[in-house]
Structures are given as structure tokens and as C-alpha cells.
A and B are shown apart, each in its own frame.
Chain A
């Protein structure tokens, strides 16, 4: 897959900067764009430069979205039950809403969130089947991951990110030719020690910063380790189905999300039936209909891979049901063909065409303690990114 990055911004209409990733089908070279959701720096304000009214409104808005929010509370329950991915998820969601708040306000909102959560202890203890130890975690706002206890509702992490983001705003304000945007990536944080991605355009091209933000000093080996992990992410595959699989969230069978997922399963199944019965649909058409032609889509890939594994297992017994060799071979051939195409998508590497430089950055709040270039584009690749104003 060819994956580059394209930034567009319409300053006059004050539209949010948009980063699009052009993707290219490796066989047909057909191109498609996918847009990222981002937090543009223009939407973040520094509390010291806000009026009393603005501050009040920002606080009220963040409070209403965090305190008593059942979705966030459910993520907190997953954290309590030991879900490793739930920690960055809840912190990132809160951080996005708290970037404009003062440190006291962040403390206050996180404390109130926890108080509300605690007031629902009996409900959540039953719904989530918490044991005695987990109930203690609920009361303390802690979780245990790999036998290590940590405060997942400690606002210090949120404050560190807010301080970092604000310091970058000041930096970018001094260089108006740059167009920065920030991205929070839950999965990246859980798997790749990336708290935040900062991307900005400057005259010589787009720079991508993979940022790990801590509230306390790093041990030298931690910095080294982070750089290695960031490098592995840069050079790694575009899709990681095992990460996707580890991120499940149990939904009731009558929920919209559950229905949506199984309707996707039925869609895949219908296409497979069409294919296996005859000539009506080719593997290329299957991938096109699923939107997988040259594009990685974790959910559909996961469903299709799971289906193919299940079909292969069932095929072992198909000889007993009286199909001719030709019919049986046809099914085997279709399954192998799908597997081969899935494998091709699965092993796609990230193509960083269009990114001039990637930095691995370690910070303690707003203080950068390490900044290492881990990717540098050469020659024509530098020309692949452009900014439309």
C-alpha cells in the first residue's frame, strides 16, 4: 500500500486543517483518500489568555462531557478489570477535553469523575461482576497491569500532556508558516509508547513527531527503549489484527454496535456464498465490495480472516458430503485465493512517502528530554506532500 500524507487547510474559512492519507491499490494503482480526525492547534486556547467567561464556558463544557459520562465510566471499569488499553483510552479522552483548562480545573474534573464513579459502586460492582480487590480499585482509581499497580485516574498525566501541547502552541505561534495538528492514539499508546502524534508542515515538508509524555524523569534506558519502540512502529505493518482483537468491549446483544458488527459478518458471509457457489463474483470483486482492495480495514479483515479459518476447518469434513473432486477443488481454490489476498494486505508495510522526517520525542511535561530523528526521506519522496491553502 502506498500511504502518504496530505495536509489541506482553508485558513480564510477557518476550517480545521485536515490530514488525508492517500492510499493506493498495489495492483490497480487506484487512489483513495482517508481523512484523519485531529485536534488543530487553532482550537486550543491557553487559560492565561482567556477571558473569565471563556474559561467558565470551557470548564462547564468539559465537566458536562466527563463527569457522570457513562461511556467513560465503562472504560474506567475495563481499566479496573485489568484491560491494558483502557488506561490510555480514558486518559486520552479526558485529555482532549481538558487541554484548555487550568491545572486546578483538571484536578477538580478528574476528582469529580472519580467521586461520581464511586457513588455508583454497587451498580457497577454487579454489572461488571467485580471481585473484592476490583472494588478496592474502583474506590482508589487504580488498576493492576502485569502485577504493577497504577493510578489510572491520576490527573498528573493529563496535566503533563496539556502543558506539552501548550508549549508547542507557543513554539508554533512563533513560526506562522507551520501548520500543526495533534492526534491522540489510544492503541499507539498502549502498544507503542506514543501518547501523542504531532504533525506539522514547514517549508521543507511534513514532520511527524511521535511523542511520549511523562510526568517524571526518564531512566536513560527508558529513552532508548522508547526510540526503539517508535522505530518498530514506523517500520512495522500497516495493520495489526492482534491489537484490534485485544481491544474488544462486550456489548449487549441488542445494542446497535453488536447489530452493526453482525450485519458486517452477514455481509461478508453473503459475498462468500456468492463466490463459493460459482462464477458470479471473483476474489477481486469480493475485496472491492468489502472496501478492502488495497486498503486495510481492521474490522473487515478480522471478520474475513476469521471466516476463512472457520471455513477451512469445516472443509476438512466436506469430503464426506458427496461433492465431486472438481467442486471441492473449486472451493479450496477460492479459499486459498482469499487467504493470499488477505495476507498481501496484512503484510503491507507503512509507506512513509510524503513524510519528510519522523522524530521520536520523549518529554517530561513540556520539557523535551530527547529528540531523535528516526526516519528521513530522501529525494523525490520529499515532494509527495503538499499544503493547499
Chain B
């Protein structure tokens, strides 16, 4: 049933998805920067 198919406990996003996206975008940039450092070593 959708996201909400039977059996899955559906939890709500704890914040406006736009805000979460912005947080994740920031984290993804930091993650890639960290990654580049590691790969280049």
C-alpha cells in the first residue's frame, strides 16, 4: 500500500521536506569534499 503498504510502520518526516533537502544537500557537499581528500591521499 503505497509508501504505506500494509505492514510498514509509516513515520512522518520530522521537518518540512524542503528544509531536510537543504540539510542533506549541505551534508552531501561536505561528504564529497571529505571523500575527495581521502581518495587523493
Contacts and interface: CB of A to CB of B under 8 A. Distances in A.
Contact of A243 (B4, B21, B28, B40): B4
B7 A314 contact: no
Q: What's the interface size class on B, roughly? A: 20 to 34
A191 B31 contact: no
A323 B21 contact: no
Contacts of A238: 1-2, 5
Interface residues of A, number: 61
B14 A247 contact: no
Interface in A131-167: none
A188 B12 contact: no
Contacts, number: 137
A8 B17 CA distance: 38
Contacts of A5: 6
A257 B14 contact: yes
Given A269-B27, A273-B34, A298 B15 contact: no
A240 B1 CA distance: 9
A273 B31 CA distance: 7
A249 B28 contact: no
Given A187-B2, A187-B4, A251 B15 contact: yes
B13 A36 contact: no
Interface of B: 1-8, 10-17, 20-21, 24-25, 27-29, 31-36, 38-40
19 contacts: A3-B5, A5-B6, A36-B7, A183-B6, A241-B3, A244-B3, A247-B13, A249-B12, A261-B14, A265-B27, A273-B35, A276-B35, A296-B8, A306-B24, A313-B25, A314-B28, A323-B36, A323-B40, A350-B1
